[in-house]
Amino acid sequence: MFKELNPLLHSELRLAVMSILLSVEEAEFTYLKQETKATAGNLSVQIDKLSKAGYIEVTKTVKGKMPCTLCRITPKGVEAFEEYVEALKTYIQRKQ
């Protein structure tokens, strides 16, 4: 039986953001933009969706004289990501 895939994580850009944040303590918006090759507007919308779900924490600071947005995955986000991967495995490893 296939497990349901989390629709919030079943988006290429949101999945990429979560994957990056799993491997770092925190990441600046500019780094996420560079790594995902997303537009600033699209990335901002997707980060907002992940933040509202409680999957990531967003902190706005100032670096020098420039605004700086930092993103960090939350324990809830790690759990959701791990559940997504396990659900995806039911599609990949299905015995015939």
For the chain, what percentages of helix, strand and coil (3-state, to nearest 5) are there? 50, 20, 30
Q: What is the pLDDT of residues 57-88, one digit of tens each?
A: 999 999 899 999 999 999 999 999 999 999 99
Supply the pTM of this predicted model.
0.90
**Residue 12 confidence (pLDDT) above 70:** yes
What is the percent of the chain with per-residue pLDDT over 90, rounded to a whole number? Answer: 84
What is residue 92's predicted lDDT score, i.e. its pLDDT? 85
Which tokens is 14 given?
A: 């949101």
Q: Specify the 3-state DSSP secondary structure of 58.
A: strand
Residue ranges and CATH numbers for the domains of the chain are 12-88 (1.10.10.10)
**Residue 47 confidence (pLDDT) above 90:** yes
Beta strands in the chain (DSSP E): 27-28, 56-63, 66-73
What is residue 93's predicted lDDT score, i.e. its pLDDT? 80
The b/e string for 42-65 (b: 16+ C-beta within 10 A; e otherwise) is ebeebbebbeebebbbeeeeeeee
Residue 66 CA, chain-centre distance (Å), reads 24
**Residue 95 confidence (pLDDT) above 90:** no
